[in-house]
Chains A and B, each alone.
Chain A
């Protein structure tokens, strides 16, 4: 089944403990992106990648890192998580960044709580 997967789905951690949220897609998509969803703010883009080894900041990149070593994977790294990073995180992918009307496919979300 063509889809975007994220792991873990739920995570409770403590301030300062490094963590990685994985994202993988099996659709051979070039474009991948991370969003965070907070009440009243909708979804905001953290980082995106237009292809392997090409990443760029979104609107709220502070405190996050990403890498794109393979086309299918786009992990989100929190080197030193803080409570203000408690949120619901979504990974998304689309066929190409060439056309702005391409549909983005979303993962199921990862609910992160930082104590």
Chain B
């Protein structure tokens, strides 16, 4: 079955500390993975996708097919990073359907 798991509901760190939001997936095909972010009172928006291999707002994520993971990392957290983060898996043969994880709330304290 296709599934995305984010084991942490809440992650709290201090400003300047490294951050890693975990994401594991289950999918028999070739995965297309995304991180979406929802800041307070804003709509859900794309943060990054693995196919782009880019760094956005200092965040990076590497697809590890062996461990079926797509963890989101940032070396130095900022207060403005506080938000809800969702890992999502796109299902190719279902019109790009997204399967979301449960979400992780990141809280960066001053």
Contact = CB atoms under 8 A, between A and B. Distances in A.
A31 B100 contact: no
Contact of A104 (B4, B46, B91, B99): B46
A18 B46 CA distance: 33
Contacts, number: 60
B57 interface: no
Interface in A8-57: 31, 33, 35, 40-45, 48, 50, 56
Interface residues of B, number: 25
Q: How large is the interface on A (under 10, 10 to 19, 20 to 34, 35 or more residues)?
A: 20 to 34
A47 to B, nearest CB: 11
Nearest to A56: B95
Interface stretch (A68-76, A79-87, A95-103): A95-103
B97 A48 contact: yes
A50 B98 CA distance: 13
A41 B102 CA distance: 5
Contacts of B36: 106
Contact of A94 (B4, B96, B103): B96
A101 B43 contact: no
Contact of A109 (B9, B34, B43): B43
Interface of B: 4, 6, 9, 32, 34, 36, 43-46, 49, 51, 86, 90-92, 95-103
5 contacts: A42-B86, A42-B101, A44-B100, A92-B44, A103-B34
Interface of A: 31, 33, 35, 40-45, 48, 50, 56, 58, 90, 92, 94, 96-97, 99-109
